[in-house]
Structure 1
């Protein structure tokens, strides 16, 4: 009894493919001949599939059909993707009586550029230069006319793909992300700087938000980056923690753009290095210990007093170190002042999360010996970020993010105003 729920199976005619074994080639070069044999087999199978598609469109060859809607049109030279390069094939043609050339599904699948694009980006991400790309591919016999693996072809393909990735990064909306933490840092490429911003959501996931190219980390460049983030959906009214290094331009632009909703955490590691640069070598160990104790204190007020005592003790002999310590001192204690401790505090007290990403970008771009214009730098950075985004882990201490959210909400200007009115 036939099933009413399953469609009837249609038997397809079997296609026979004859393959001649190149015995002499096998004896001379086993690997080369075997690859050629595989390509020959693949070409014949593809040819049989394409002919099957053409029969489905035009009907069997030599069989009259008054209802025929398409006719055969011979064949033409074409290329299909094989790994990271293209090889030549003959594509049978089918033409619609009314609409012209018809596509063959099997050829569309075999000639798709996606595998070729993916192979190119994977090779560059692995550190293969465009000059050596061809040497990483299997040696296809010359009779098959391998193409698209030369330095110029790979370079053109990478430029196009990286430009598409850059456009995606610059236009991607971020309005659906709730980002209580944002980190900003600069990546230096000789005389150019790429400002990079990453956001951390309420679950501890990291998101690359945007990038901006400039000659320096000037306030106008930072403001341009922040304005772009707001245009793409970053909530400017949300109370947020900004983790930055010691750059004054970064702080100025953030405060001017977000005002009272911005809480700034200066990177303690940058501050430690800046202070030690003003001190003799024999004082480094003792000062490091005091700074570590102050920034590890369970109470922000206690840490503040320890830093102030250190500054007072060095005032006479080392005024430069004292000036560096006192500049932005309060902002090195922001996360402590919010009551955050443990792994989350150790993560947010420095810019290490974004600097680790910067390191991934530097490794990705290590083969570039000469940088051109700013657009080239942006394209490479966007490609590096696209490659690194798949490997980004959750923020260390992410289980404590709820405590951070509560602490930030308690610092909202509206909450402070309501408390004052209630007390009055």
Structure 2
């Protein structure tokens, strides 16, 4: 067990381990968060040595120093400024604030080389947490001899716990799964929606295409970490066969798939002559706008007959997976169409990541792609708002649960 580390207006190692951290995107995200928490904990430990633990009546140095709030600050990690909260300490004897030596050391630390990033990631992946903690000490310009073995041990234990964080505390009603194409590689992102409408980036994997195997491994890892789906979960996807196969293998009969209506519409019109595309784009949109499942399906099938004479492939594209584009209508959940009938929710996130990755002029390695995509996710996730109509998501949960139960009972009786 870690010794208790007091919280000084921000998260530190112990607070971080006890908190409900719901974002799991990649090892690089861990690197950034670990650096931030490492710095917070170093500052917190110095405050403890001067003013004592936050709620302790035992004060060192005859009570000379007192806690005095905190100020915003930052440390430089991998070429960017990472914000932290810097504790303030007041010298009761000299009647003035005192600077923290550890913060001065962090501020003067040389810019970390790429080798430090790779060393941290390698240490985490190999579960060599003590070496990772020692790497952070040295690369932040701090002499290893100036910190205690206890601190290194605490950091190592925290990294290990961080790597094993779980999702049991969250109840997810839906997953959006989509790929961001970047320099010849697909970055597959899983975005979870909680029963309270919160958007949480759960995971990311890198693959050449939307391939079944790496996506399955990603989903299996999320399940191993406590992603619950036993009462059913909605998966919103663009229609990729690799995605669908991986989802059905991972979640079995407990998943309901909603195919993106926007992707379906655009795929269909792409087969048509340019002078026909806008006409049928509007027709398809009108059909999907119908409230009743039967009416919407009938209109779509009628459109299919129309376009068969124009392009047979267009009709095949429309009819392929058509039922899954109408999932919400079939469940009588039209009030959630704005957020869950398309992949716009995750497309918006991908768009924000795209703005971030435009800063890169030349892509060199897979690690570079992953690093920049994750940095973009970190930058974007703080701006994500709750999904529309989140107040009524309990209705969606109940409908999904009932549909899963009906499926299972039908399967037993057949």
TM-score above 0.5: yes
SS at match of 1:111: helix
Question: Is 1:324–2:320 an aligned residue pair?
Answer: no
After superposition, the Cα gap between the structure-2 partners of 1:406 and 1:110, relative to the gap in structure 1 and judged at 3 Å, is: closer
Q: Does 1:212 align with 2:243?
A: no
CA RMSD, Structure 1 to Structure 2 (Å): 3.5
The 5 A counterparts of 1:108-187 are 108-111=101-104, 113=106, 116=107, 153=112, 171-187=164-180
Asked if 1:267 corresponds to 2:257, the answer is no
Structure 1 stretches of 4+ with a deviation exceeding 4 A read 81-85, 152-171, 418-421
| Aligned pair partner of 2:308 in 311, 315, 325 | 315
Pick aligned residue for 2:382 from 387, 390, 395: 390
Name the stretch that deviates more: 359-368 or 166-175: 166-175
Distance 1:178 1:106 in 2: 44
Count of residues in correspondence between the two structures: 294
After superposing the two structures, state which structure 1 stretch, 182-191 or 159-168, moved more: 159-168
Counterparts of 1:170 and 1:273 in 2: how far apart (Å)?
A: 40
TM-score normalised by length of structure 1: 0.61
SS at match of 2:236: strand
Q: Tell me by how many angstroms 1:364 deviates.
A: 2.0
* 1:244 corresponds to: 237
Superposed CA offset, 1:17-46 (max 9, x none): xxxxxxxxxxxxxxxxxxxxxxxxxxxxxx
TM-score (norm: length of structure 2)? 0.63
Q: Measured at CA, do residues 285 and 379 of structure 1 come closer, stay the same or move farther in structure 2, by a change above 3 Å?
A: closer
Q: Could you list the per-position Cα deviations for residues 175-214 of structure 1 after superposition, in whole angstroms to 9, with x for gaps in the alignment?
A: 2111010000111121221110010011111111111111
Contact 2:232 2:401 in 1 (8 A): yes
* Matched residue SS, 1:411: helix
Q: Is the 8 A contact 2:272 2:310 kept in 1?
A: no
The residue number in structure 1 matching 2:248 is 255
Matching of residue 276 in structure 1 with residue 269 in structure 2: yes
1:231 to 216, 224, 237: 224
1:360 is matched with which residue: 339, 348, 352?
352
Distance 2:164 2:299 in 1: 46
User: Aligned in 2, Cα 1:302/1:189: closer, same or farther, shift over 3 Å?
Assistant: same
- Cα 1:415–1:275 change in 2 (3 A) is closer
Contact 1:170 1:211 (C-alpha < 8 Å) held by counterparts: no
Counterpart Cα distance in 1 of 2:75 and 2:408: 61
Residues 363 and 312 of structure 1: CA distance in aligned 2, closer, same or farther (over 3 Å): same
Match of 1:306 among 276, 299, 312: 299
Please say if residues 295 and 303 of structure 1, whose CA atoms lie closer than 8 Å, have aligned partners that are also in contact. yes
- Return 5+ residue gaps in structure 2 as ranges: 1-49, 52-59, 62-71, 77-97, 126-158
- 2:394 is the alignment partner of 1:402: yes
In the superposition, relative to structure 1, how do residues 272 and 369 fare at CA in structure 2: closer, same or farther (>3 Å)?
same
Shift of 1:161: 8.4
- Change in Cα spacing, 1:249 to 1:208, as seen in structure 2 (3 Å) is same
Larger Rg: 1
User: Which residue of structure 2 aligns with residue 413 of structure 1?
Assistant: 405
Cα distance between partner residues in 2 of 1:398 and 1:165: 36
Q: CA deviation at 1:380?
A: 2.4
